């Protein structure tokens, strides 16, 4: 299946929008009658659960399409209680963070699904619904599936796997270089899209309500991200020890602020992984 190469475009213009009892702001270039009416009909239909692709206690994610086959993710948050009410006043609830961080990442040139709109609907003083809409990523899959697709001993598969490792390492180095930290760095929070010739992988970070932009990203936080990335694949036996070392080697090449040697960094990450698995009663797979 073909697709146009992904490129980050900056369009900061937003406009107010009122739709089906919700109000907020939306990117001007997407504030079209087709999308607005499609969203209105979707909400009026009662947020049909057959379109939900993920659910949690305080949120649900729907995958929808409005006109000409364009796909969107509509993430609905339930902000309830006094504590979350205070966070809302400070603009730090999960929906507000996802909108703000997504726009900030794109301004920095870091790939993430395009944040299109942030809407809200107040039900009572301590209960507000938020809706964050992002553009769907055409033909992108979770990182775990992308890794499974590049397994094999053939030369072409080894080259594709190393390209994925290199592109993934560069993406993480870019995050850390811009002082961006994801506190829930799992293979499900990373989407991957492969170019038609198989020579390039586009990496996208999702679930941005767990992302933090900080003044200084410490070695501990970077190690946590690096270790979590490798641990995602240990039990699946997808990534070998050599591949994990190769990932760290590429990372060192892209992240110039790291002063540790590859050997030292690998040992630090390995030690952290062994400790985390031991805490959970699991064995380490080399």
Percent of the chain with pLDDT over 70: 91
* Same structural domain, 157 and 225: yes
Domain boundary among 135, 152, 167: 135
- Please state the separation of Cα 254 from the chain's center in Å: 20
Burial classification of residue 121, based on how many CB atoms lie within 10 Å of its CB (0-12 exposed, 13-18 middle, 19 or more buried): middle
Residue 251 lies in a domain: yes
> What domain range is 128 assigned to?
14-135
Residue-wise pLDDT for 233-250, tens only, equals 655 566 778 888 899 999
Do both 236 and 123 map to the same domain?
Answer: no
Evaluate whether residue 284 is within a structural domain: no
Out of 10-24, 42-56, 259-273, the most confident range is 259-273
CA 276 vs CA 69, 134, 229, 231, 281: distances in Å: 44, 34, 13, 9, 9
Residue 75 is predicted with a pLDDT of 92
Q: Is the same domain home to 205 and 79?
A: no
1 within domain boundaries: no
Same domain for 146 and 274, yes or no, is yes
Q: Residue 86 maps to which CATH number?
A: 3.30.200
Shared-domain flag, residues 51 and 76:
yes
Residue 9 lies inside a defined structural domain of this protein:
no
pLDDT at 143: 87
Across the chain, what does the average pLDDT equal? 85
Cα separation, 263 vs 284, in Å, equals 19
Residues 156, 266 share a domain: yes
Domain boundary among 98, 120, 135: 135
Same domain, 126 and 175: no
Same domain, 231 and 206: yes
- Token pair belonging to 219: 């070695």
How far is C-alpha 70 from the geometric centre of its chain's CA atoms? 20
Tell me the C-alpha distance between 26 and 149, whole Å: 36
Question: Same structural domain for residues 203 and 245?
Answer: yes
In sequence order, which residues have a C-beta less than 8 Å from that of residue 26 and are 6 or more positions away? 14, 15, 17, 116, 117, 119, 133
Could you tell me what percent of the chain has a pLDDT over 90? 38
Tracing tokens 């902000």 back to the chain, one arrives at 79
Question: What pLDDT shows up at residue 67?
Answer: 67
Q: What is the DSSP letter of 24?
A: E
> How far does the chain reach from its first CA to its final CA, in angstroms?
36
Ranges 82-91, 117-126, 156-165: which has the least confidence: 82-91
| 274 found inside a domain | yes
Mean pLDDT value of segment 26-40: 90
Structure tokens at 214: 């900080």
d(CA 239, CA 151) in angstroms, rounded, equals 9
How far apart CA 22 and CA 40 sit, in angstroms, is 10
User: Number of structural domains, the chain?
Assistant: 2
What is the rounded CA–CA span in Å between residue 254 and residue 239?
21
Confidence (pLDDT) at 5 = 46
**Both 275 and 147 in a single domain?**
yes
Residues 114 and 146 occupy one common structural domain: no
* Segment 5-18, tens digit of pLDDT: 445 555 578 999 99
Last residue of a domain, one of 135, 150, 172: 135
Q: How many residues does the chain have?
A: 286
| In the predicted structure, residue 232 carries a pLDDT above the cut 90 | no
């Amino acid at each position: 299946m073909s697709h146009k190469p992904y490129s980050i475009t900056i369009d900061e213009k937003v406009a107010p929008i009122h739709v089906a009892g919700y109000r907020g702001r939306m990117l001007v270039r997407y504030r079209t009658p087709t999308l607005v009416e499609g969203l209105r009909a979707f909400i009026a239909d009662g947020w049909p659960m057959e379109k939900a692709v993920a659910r949690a206690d305080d949120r649900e994610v729907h995958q929808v399409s409005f006109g000409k086959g364009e796909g969107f993710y509509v993430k609905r948050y339930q902000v309830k209680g006094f504590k979350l009410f205070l966070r809302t006043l400070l603009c730090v609830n999960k929906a507000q963070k996802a909108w703000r961080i997504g726009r900030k990442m794109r301004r920095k040139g870091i790939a993430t699904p395009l944040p299109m709109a942030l809407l809200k609907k107040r039900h009572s003083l301590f209960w507000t619904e938020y809706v964050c809409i992002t553009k769907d990523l055409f033909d992108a899959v979770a990182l775990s599936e992308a890794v499974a697709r590049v397994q094999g001993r053939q030369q072409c598969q080894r080259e594709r796997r190393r390209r994925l490792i290199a592109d993934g390492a560069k993406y993480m180095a870019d995050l850390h270089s811009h002082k961006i930290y994801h506190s829930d760095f799992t293979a499900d929070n990373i989407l991957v899209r492969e170019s038609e010739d198989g020579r390039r992988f586009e990496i996208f970070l999702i679930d941005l309500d767990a992302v933090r932009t900080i003044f200084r990203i410490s070695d501990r936080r970077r190690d946590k991200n690096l270790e979590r990335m490798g641990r995602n694949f240990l039990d699946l036996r997808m990534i070998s020890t050599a591949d994990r070392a190769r990932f760290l080697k590429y990372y060192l090449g892209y992240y110039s602020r790291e002063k540790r040697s590859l050997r030292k960094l690998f040992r630090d990450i390995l030690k952290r992984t062994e400790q985390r698995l031991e805490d959970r009663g699991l064995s380490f797979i080399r």
